[in-house]
Amino acid sequence: MHEAERTGTASDTAAALETGEGLDRLDEEAVRFTSELIRIDTTNRGGGDGRERPAAEYAAERLSDAGLAPRLLESAPGRANVVARIPGTDPDAPALLVHGHLDVVPAEPSRWSRPPFSGEVADGLVWGRGAVDMKGTVAMVLALVRFWARGGLRPRRDIVVAFTADEEDSAAYGAEWLAREHAELFAGCTEAVGESGGHTVHARAADGTPVRIYPVGAGERGTAWLRLSARGTAGHGSKTNTDNAVSALAAAVARIGAHTWPVRLTPVTRAALDGVAAALGVDAPAAGFDPQRDTDALIDGFGAAAELVRPTVRCSSAPTVLEAGGKVNVVPDRASAGIDGRVLPGAEEEFAATLDELTGDRVQWEYQHRSRPLQSPVDAPVFAAMREALLAFDPGAHVVPVCLTGGTDAKQFAELGIAGYGFSPLRLPPGLDHGALFHGVDERIPVEALRFGARVLDRFLRGPS
């Protein structure tokens, strides 16, 4: 990175953004890099079937052009990760990790209105798999680092940039492997920002006034992917069989699917309830609030903002896979099922005990993949800096902490003692359902959202956080 001509204060950010040519190039690269990354097919089909290396090489080349020395690290053939460190102006400040993943989920071209790996820019949108999840954010970071290099700008604290493989499966080839085998690359990092947070949610206040809310991830439910199995007596389908593995398994799966988990309000979710209620002018939980009785009714009053908190007030267990038999007139001697479980912080023991009860004596269960739930402080300076950066470019908005429903690479980096936050800023127009774009058909991102995000990231990353 070139030597700093400025120290990275908020006023410097404003001055840098007012330089037309530099700003135009930042905009252009954020959009172009998104399109070009989408055109690199990094589909992760799970079970080790993926290839991120071409996208990793693309990112490494652009980081090198910015004067950095990126490390390209393969955990297996084709499963590549990129890590680079940007030195800050204050060597005593703790480092900040900025991470994003290079892989994407599969896309069925016949269902899309535009080819999913075209990266087409049309109607003010960049189209294709990964536009939102999360090549757009990777592109913003690449464009921003190059913007800094051209202007001789540096952040206050060291920034470690990590672009990872395999986030869309288990992270075994990506962040998990990096944290285990290359922990030294993240030395000094105390906090991290990654995907799923900082985007616009359009809602309406109690009086009908439009409200813009920006959720920032400050927690994640833990992942508990389960395999259920039942054994029984094989036989002919026409004969009486009281030891039917399929029947036993089906009964257990039905109980799990019908189970209503109790409300468990973590500190992050309590802060989310308060924040959303304040933004909408709804009465926040008071002294007599009973979580089991009153939470659902409170959330129902949030309207379009309800889904920011509804999935994270409880654990969950969704049946997703059934496997048994192969011929209709043969009773198989075994049957299995898959359950996607999600666990709130502090509820791990309760979750396991409940599964023991729901599966009963006939069905066994085990973890196929497990990662712990996370909570990060919402009163930390880094959270205040994210809020300030968003409000600088959307002054009338409301920024609230939320617990994410699913998991991200933050879980893997948490093993190194790094507190994780979801912060991929985007200003989205009304009517564009951000949540539905994740893994959805016709995934796309507005050009203006990328421009907004690059400016917010610049202010945040070079600010006093």
Q: How confident is the model at residue 12 (pLDDT cuts 50, 70, 90)?
A: low
Q: Give me the pLDDT at residue 287, please.
A: 78
* Mean pLDDT, rounded, for 46-71: 97
**How high is the mean pLDDT of the chain?**
94
pLDDT digit string, tens, across residues 279-321: 999 988 887 899 999 999 999 999 999 999 999 999 999 999 9
154 vs 94: CA distance, rounded Å: 15
pLDDT digit string, tens, across residues 252-263: 999 999 999 999
Q: Report whether 133 contacts 197 (CB < 8 A).
A: no
* Mean pLDDT, rounded, for 97-110: 98
387 vs 384: CA distance, rounded Å: 5
Tokens 């993949």 appear where?
Answer: 369
Share of the chain above pLDDT 90, in %: 92
Q: Report whether 130 contacts 17 (CB < 8 A).
A: no
Residue 384 exposure: Cα atoms within 13 Å on the Cβ side: 5
Q: Look up residue 367 and give its amino acid.
A: Y
User: Active site includes 167?
Assistant: yes
* Mean pLDDT, rounded, for 167-185: 97
Q: Give me the pLDDT at residue 297, please.
A: 95
Q: Tell me the pairing of strands 235-236 and 330-331.
A: antiparallel
Region of 431 on the Ramachandran plot (φ > 0 left; ψ -120 to 50 alpha; else beta):
left
* Mean pLDDT, rounded, for 125-148: 98
Q: Which of 12, 29, 52, 103 is catalytic?
A: 103
Q: Give me the pLDDT at residue 375, please.
A: 96
pLDDT digit string, tens, across residues 319-365: 999 999 999 999 999 999 999 999 999 999 999 999 999 999 999 99
Q: Which candidate, 132, 172, 220, 50, places its Cα nearest to that of 439?
A: 132
pLDDT at 9 over 90: no
Q: Report whether 215 contacts 304 (CB < 8 A).
A: no
pLDDT at 14 over 70: no
Q: Give me the pLDDT at residue 17, please.
A: 47
Point out the least confidently predicted range of 17-21, 82-86, 105-109, 221-225: 17-21
338 vs 252: CA distance, rounded Å: 12
Residues in Cβ contact with 384 at an 8 Å cutoff, skipping those fewer than 6 apart: 465
* Mean pLDDT, rounded, for 83-94: 96
Tokens 């700003």 appear where?
Answer: 23
3-state secondary structure the chain: CCCCCCCCCHHHHHHHHCCHHHHHHHHHHHHHHHHHHHCCCCECCECCECCCHHHHHHHHHHHHHCCCCCEEEEEECCEEEEEEEECCCCCCCCEEEEEEECCECCCCHHHCCCCCCCCCEECCEEECCCHHHHHHHHHHHHHHHHHHHHHCCCCCCCEEEEEECCCCCCCCCCHHHHHHHCHHHHCCEEEEEECCCCECEEEECCCCCEEEEEEEEEEECEEEEEEEEEECCCEECCCCCCCCHHHHHHHHHHHHHHCCCCCCCCHHHHHHHHHHHHHHCCCCCCCCCCHHHHHHHHHHCCHHHHHHCHHHCCCEEEEEEEEECCCCCEECCEEEEEEEEEECCCCHHHHHHHHHHHHCCCEEEEEEEEECCEECCCCCHHHHHHHHHHHHHCCCCEEEEEEECCCCCHHHHHCCCCEEEECCCECCCCCCCHHHHCCCCCCEEEHHHHHHHHHHHHHHHCCCC
pLDDT digit string, tens, across residues 227-245: 999 999 999 999 999 999 9
pLDDT digit string, tens, across residues 400-430: 999 999 899 999 999 999 999 999 999 999 9
pTM (2 d.p.): 0.92
Tokens 């980096």 appear where?
Answer: 413
CATH number of 222-271+309-371: 3.30.70.360
Q: Give me the pLDDT at residue 408, please.
A: 95
Burial of 104 (0-12, 13-18, 19+ CB in 10 A): buried
C-alpha torsion 347→348→352→358, nearest 10: 30
Q: Give me the pLDDT at residue 7, please.
A: 42
Q: Give me the pLDDT at residue 85, please.
A: 98
Q: Give me the pLDDT at residue 20, please.
A: 72
* Mean pLDDT, rounded, for 384-408: 96
Could you tell me the two tokens for 128? Answer: 């294709």
Q: Give me the pLDDT at residue 2, please.
A: 36
Class of domain 10-203+374-461: alpha beta
Q: How confident is the model at residue 223 (pLDDT cuts 50, 70, 90)?
A: very high
3-state secondary structure 206-224: CCCCEEEEEEEEEEECEEE
pLDDT at 211 over 50: yes
pLDDT at 266 over 80: yes
Q: Where are the domains of the chain?
A: 10-203+374-461, 222-271+309-371
Q: Which of 29, 52, 133, 167 is catalytic?
A: 167
Share of the chain above pLDDT 70, in %: 95
pLDDT at 394 over 60: yes
Q: How confident is the model at residue 19 (pLDDT cuts 50, 70, 90)?
A: low
The total of other beta-carbon atoms located within 10 Å of residue 112's CB is 17
Could you tell me the two tokens for 333? Answer: 């001697």
